[in-house]
Amino acid sequence: MTPEPSAPKASPARTPDAYLILLALALLAFAATWFVTPGRFAVAEGADGRTQVLAGSYEAADAPRPAPLLFGDEDQAGLIGFLFEGLVSGDRNGATIGLMAFLFITGGAFGVILKTGSMERALHAALYHKTGAPKPGNDALPAMLFVAFSLGGAVFGMGEEAIVFVLIVAPALIRSGYDSITAVVCTYAATQVGFATSWMNPFSLIIAQGIADLPTLSGLWFRVACWGVFTAAGALFLWRYARGVRLKPQSSVAYAIDQKSRNEATTAAASGLSFGDVVVLLSVAAAIAWIAWGVTTQQYYLPELAGQFLALGLAVGVLARILRLNNLTGNDLVEAFREGAMQMAPAVLVVAAAKGVVAMMGGDDPDAFTVLNTALNAAAGFTAALPDWAAAWGMLAVQSVLNLAIVSGSGQAALTMPLMAPLADLSGVTRQTAVLAFQFGDGFTNMMTPASAALMGSLAAARLDWVTWLRFVWKPMIALLLMSSAAILIAHAVGYA
């Protein structure tokens, strides 16, 4: 299908870009090192072999230790060198080096998969008759798409990729009697529900668990249950909403905006799914099963996951050439891999900048003198006055507010989990619950913050402005936050570990 050629651009968000926010944090961290006395904690190895911060063991240094203005060293990054230090931090199994390699390879593999057009044609077959006319009155279809895209968010961390699908889904749904809001909810919003409740998302969960020193994909079944409950609730809500719009189109807050799309004749091609498309889709499904098996039974982590995604990209590329999908040449596939990898560069830089900020404050080692440990001790003193259940909910609130500005899951994990993980130890909250609070806070508010490029791009693809979207989404957001609060309290009550 040829995308709509003239989708208007969304109004520019007034919220500062994530890079500007991180630069401001870097300047703030630099200033803090001149005035805040760093501190450290005593640590001990727990029964499970995990390093734990000992409550009441905080020790302050003699005086502040200002960060250098320029380059710094291995112990403390300088202001000018903080980004470089963030880029070279970690090892093959973590941020930033290992994560950077993983993101580039995974992005390239997805570039190849999307280039074949198989996913677009699968959606087209679900939305259109063979004649090219849209399928009317299929109220279950938006809900089914919601489940499928929620699964994509949970397994692969889909987000920006949804923009392409909005371009395809929105015109078909509008001409079938629904509205542009339905299209954004069943694609982008669904990916964020899956993203927030994922049990294997490599872009947020695995990173956060690694920083929190938790086994990869531990606590899987509680998260699977959360995904099922939240996805089912979202699908049911969308079914009722979409059906109401089809029966009474004027009830949609986007009714006037969608008028142009309703009047336009469809130019969609009606080629349907080919044998090659089916083979590619089955290959992707097989790769998902392979990745799930490897992570859950073989403890695969970033190096192995990157290899699996590369294998998937290579396999799909070979199949595309043999089966002549989209008449792709070898050069076309290489270009698709390159473009997909390049799209991951912003996420890499966000993670690196966040790690560099932490390095400028002395790092995140609990038994070294760092400004971060001083902040942790202050936060622990505040939460000590609260019941432990309130501390657990407070983590969700803090992560939700932070995500309004820092929309990168990887970046938010790198910036907050070094603080939240030991804070959980000091507050009587399990680290698994702290990671769950990060997931919920990082995922759900992506549906409303104008700082999210994926949200604004999806709204632009649907020809929907942000204010109109906000008029719709604020009520579902309240429901999601209430549900996530209940899930956090349940996780704390059962000692989720």
Question: pLDDT tens digits for 116-158?
Answer: 888 777 767 776 666 666 666 577 889 999 999 999 888 877 7
216, part of any domain: yes
What residues contact residue 60 under an 8 Å CB cut-off, 6+ apart? Answer: 37, 38, 39, 374
Can you give the pLDDT at residue 435? 93
Statement: residue 266 has pLDDT above 50:
no
Poorest-confidence range of 90-99, 171-180, 434-443, 460-469? 90-99
- Whether 268 shows a pLDDT value over 60: the answer reads no
Is residue 49 situated within a structural domain? no
Q: Is residue 11 part of a domain?
A: no
More confident residue, 252 or 326: 252
Residue 484: predicted pLDDT: 95
Q: Quick one: DSSP state of residue 188?
A: I
Beta bridge partners of 60: 39
Taking residues 202-230, what's their average pLDDT? 85
Residue 115: alpha-carbon gap to chain centroid: 22
Residue 133 lies in a domain: yes
Q: How many domains in the chain?
A: 1
Q: How far is the C-alpha of 415 from the C-alpha of 360, rounded, in Å?
A: 12
**Residue 310 domain-assigned?**
yes
* The amino acid at 265: A
Domain that holds residue 383: 18-37+70-493
* Residue 437: predicted pLDDT: 92
Q: Quick one: pLDDT at residue 304? A: 84
- The helix or strand, by DSSP H or E, that contains position 296, with its residue range, turns out to be helix 275-298
* pLDDT winner (highest mean) among 28-37, 120-129, 455-464: 28-37
Query: What pLDDT score was predicted for residue 94?
Result: 63
Containing 45, the helix (H) or strand (E) segment is strand 43-45
Q: What's the pLDDT at 52? A: 61
Q: What is the pLDDT of residue 213?
A: 79
C-alpha atoms less than 13 angstroms from C-alpha of 237 in its C-beta half-sphere: 21
Top pLDDT among 337 and 463 is at: 337
Kindly indicate the confidence band of residue 381, based on its pLDDT and cuts at 50, 70 and 90.
low
Does the residue 61 lie in any domain? no
**Domain-embedded: residue 104:** yes
Q: d(Cα 418, Cα 409) in Å, to the nearest integer?
A: 14
% helix, strand, coil for the chain, step of 5: 65, 5, 30
Report pLDDT for 13.
44
Helices 275-298, 118-127: inter-axial angle, 10-degree rounding:
110
Tell me the mean pLDDT in the region 88-113: 77
* Within a domain: 45: no
Task: Give yes or no for a contact between 96 and 349, defined as CB atoms under 8 angstroms apart.
Answer: no
pLDDT of 28 over the 50 cut: yes
